[in-house]
A = this chain, B = another copy of it.
Amino acid sequence: MEGNNNKSINMIQLAKELGLSISTVSKALGDSHEISASTKKRVFELAAKYNYKPNPFASNLRKKKGTQIAVIIPEIVNHFFALAVDGIGSVTMEKDYDTLIYLSNENPERERAILSHLENGMISGIIISVCSGRAGYTHFQEFYERTKLPIVFFDRVPDLLQFPKVITDNYQSSFDGTMRLLKSGSKNPLFVSPEEPLYTSLERRRGFQDAIRKFNLKFREDMLLELGEDAGVNYMVIKKILSSKKPPDAIFASTERNVITSYQVCKDLKIKIPQKIKILAFSNLRTATLLNPSLSTISQPAFEMGKEAASLLLKMIERKSYAAANDVIVLANEMTIRDSI
């Protein structure tokens, strides 16, 4: 029984009060060239007076398109993704697009459900960082076939050639990082990555392996460690490895999450960094410099990646250059050596 009366004014009322036709008002509001300056002025003024805002449902329905994009990411509680969302927001906001956010929580089923939900036509495009490779990538193809909506992948990208991507030079920076570890004396490094068969991780691993070989070290399978989702389990696994007879003398972590766990284990086992073990990680931790000891990182230009992805997507949406659809934008990572090496 709430009085939700005084609901906003509409075009009809504006037109009536102005003694104009509704279509004239519509055109005036759209700043159409076929309306006289004086009429426009009158319309704008009355609209402002009533704080009139066109009903987006009606206008979107009529135009068969809106101004919302969806961002799908595995998690937001992660400095990298938070920065990326910030970057995305910086361009969508400027271009008057609204940003819907969906968290897949590293769950492929969620990701599919989100995609399916988005097939209703509410949005004009998608920016996504995928959550896993295990379930395959067919849902992206299918989504695209059905909706023909522009999609831009970033960071964690599937290996689908037909889609535009924004990534970093994962192979090269991993190679460089590994070389750096080896040059500082590591003979037995351990590369820690998530078990998902993600393009990003695979590229980093490839860089690691190639550096090992390039350095004329013998590559062994047990130089690679794959970790799952469960932080508790991961902790135990790392602890076991670091307590073994021939523990690694360096850890190169492919993700922020893994390096935090590694630090924790070293702290608990009182293993000195970098004396006993050197640590390097792909990470955007803001507090890298304050850790004990300060952490050497390869950080991704997350904000920039978000910006690039959003710019590309909006360009595609506005068809200014749909040809850009197969672009792969590669940005450079930045390695910062601190006390952990």
Using a CB–CB cutoff of 8 Å, the interface residues on chain A facing chain B are 2, 4, 6-8, 51, 53-58, 60-61, 64, 66, 68, 75-79, 82-83, 85-86, 89, 93, 98-103, 119-122, 146-148, 260, 263-264, 267, 285-287, 289-294, 319, 322
Contacts and interface: CB of A to CB of B under 8 A. Distances in A.
Given A82-B76, A103-B93, A2 B319 contact: yes
A322 B4 CA distance: 13
B76 A79 contact: no
Given A55-B61, A86-B76, A100 B102 contact: no
B77 A76 contact: no
Contacts of A293: 292
Given A57-B60, A101-B99, A122-B56, A267 B290 contact: yes
Given A4-B148, A57-B61, A101 B101 contact: yes
Contact of A260 (B8, B58, B287): B287
Contact of A76 (B4, B76, B119): B76
B83 A120 contact: no
Nearest to A81: B82
B76 A290 contact: no
Nearest to A293: B292
Given A2-B319, A8-B119, A56-B122, 17 more contacts: A7-B148, A54-B120, A55-B120, A55-B121, A56-B121, A57-B57, A57-B66, A58-B61, A76-B76, A76-B85, A78-B82, A85-B101, A89-B103, A98-B122, A99-B100, A260-B287, A292-B292
A8 B121 contact: yes
A86 B93 contact: no
Contacts of A4: 148
Contacts of A93: 102-103
Contact of A61 (B61, B86, B285, B292): B61
A7 B121 CA distance: 10
Nearest to A267: B290
